[in-house]
Structure 1
Amino acid sequence: MAEPRWLDDAEFRAWIGYRRMRLLLDAQVSRDLMRDSGLSAPDYDVLSALTSSEGHRRRLTELADRMLWSKSRLSRHISRMEQRGLVTREECETDARGAVVVLTEGGLRAIEEAAPEHVESVRRHFIDLLSPEQLEVLGTVAETVLAHLAPDGSPEASGMQR
C-alpha cells in the first residue's frame, strides 16, 4: 500500500476550518430558523424543494435523494409534516408503489413567512462576513467539489441549482 499523502499545515487548516465552520454555521442557522419560524432545517429543506418543483410536488424518492436521506427516514419526517398541515402525500400516477409529496397552502405560507428571517440569518452569520472576492472563490470551490461528488456532474445532481 502506498504511503498516505498527509495534509500539510495549509491543507490541514483549510480542512479543519471548513469542518468546524460547517458544524457551527449549520447549528446557528438552524437555531435561528427554529426560533424565528418553528421550522426545523429539514422542514425548511423539504418546503424549499417543493416550492422550486413544478406544481409544488415531488416524488418521495427524489426528495430523499436530494436530501441524502433514506426513503424511510424521509417518509417518517413527511408524516410529521403532514400532521402539521405543511404537506400532503398522494399516490404516484406512474408507480402504484410510489408517493408524491405535495406542498399545502399552509406549507407555502410557512416557508414564505420563514424565508425573510432565514435569509437574514444566512447573511448575518455567513454572506455578509465575506468579501465579493471570497464569495466568488467559495462558489467556485463549491461547484468544483460538488461536480466531483455528483453522480453525473450536473448542477441539478450536485444541488447547485437555485
Structure 2
Amino acid sequence: MPNDLGDSADEPARSELTAEQEATWFAYMRVALRLNYEINRELQADGGLSHQDFHVLNALADSADQRLQLSDLAVRIGWERSRVSHQVLRMEARGLVARRPSSTDARGTDAVLTSQGRDALRRATPGHAALVKQMFFDGLDPTLLGPLHTALDQIHEQILAHGTLPRPSGHQTRWTTTNKA
C-alpha cells in the first residue's frame, strides 16, 4: 500500500502485499462496503429489519431447535459477545427473539427464534435473495462462480485457522437465500 502516512523512507514498509494483492483487497472492500449498504437499505425498506437483525435471525433459523447460546451465536456470526447481547436485547424488545436459560449450560443464555422473528425472516428473505442475485450474481460471469466459491471457502478456512474467534460448532448449511424455518 502506498505510504501515505508520512513515514520516512528508512522505516520498513507497513504492508507486504503485492500490487495485485492490494488491488484485489481494495476491490473486495469496495464490493463488501457497498453491498452491505444496499442489503441493509433493502432489508430496512422491505422488512423493517437491519442487516444485523437478519444475521441473527438466519443463524437461529439454521440452528438446532432454532436457538443458540449467546456465545455460540457470537462465534457463528463473527461478532463480539457483548455486541450479540445488545443486539439480542433490542430484537427481544421487538419480539423477534426471546432470551431463555441455556439448554446446555446453566450459566449461559440462549437466544431463541420466536414465531414473530420466523415470520419476519420469511417476509424479508425473498427481497433479500432478489437483491443478492441482482447486485452480486447477475454481473458475474457464470464461469467464475465455481472459482469464486472455492476462493471464498479457502479464505474462510484461513480466517478460522488464524483468527481470534473459535471455530463455529456444527455445520452452517445456509445463510441468507433460503429459509427452512
Query: Shorter-chain-normalised TM-score: which range?
Result: 0.7 to 0.9
Is the CA contact 1:89–1:99 (under 8 Å) kept in the aligned structure 2?
A: yes
The residue number in structure 2 matching 1:117 is 127
Give the partner amino acid of 1:7.
Answer: T
The residue number in structure 1 matching 2:91 is 81
After TM superposition, which residue ranges in structure 1, 4 or more long, deviate above 3 angstroms? Answer: 2-6
Aligned length: 159
Which of 60, 65, 68 matches 1:50? 60
Which whole-Å CA distance do the structure 2 matches of 1:7 and 1:115 have between them?
39
Unaligned runs of 5+ in 1: none
SS at match of 2:105: coil
Tell me the TM-score normalised to structure 1 length: 0.88
Unaligned runs of 5+ in 2: 1-11, 175-181
Deviation per CA, 1:54-82, whole angstroms, max 9, x where unpaired?
A: 11111110001122222122111101101
Which whole-Å CA distance do the structure 2 matches of 1:67 and 1:109 have between them?
21
Report the RMSD for the aligned CA atoms in angstroms.
2.4
Deviation per CA, 1:108-133, whole angstroms, max 9, x where unpaired?
A: 00000100001001111111111221
Q: Which protein is richer in helix relative to its size?
A: 1
Deviation at 1:11, TM superposition (A): 2.7
Q: Matched residues, percent identical?
A: 36
Deviation per CA, 1:83-105, whole angstroms, max 9, x where unpaired?
A: 11001011014322200111100
Give the partner amino acid of 1:67.
Answer: I
Structure with the bigger RCO (C-alpha within 8 Å, sep 6+) is: 2
Tell me the TM-score normalised to structure 2 length: 0.79
Give the partner amino acid of 2:133.
Answer: R
The residue number in structure 1 matching 2:151 is 141
Deviation at 1:46, TM superposition (A): 0.5
From the superposition, tell whether residues 141 and 91 of structure 1 become closer, same or farther in structure 2 (CA, over 3 Å): same
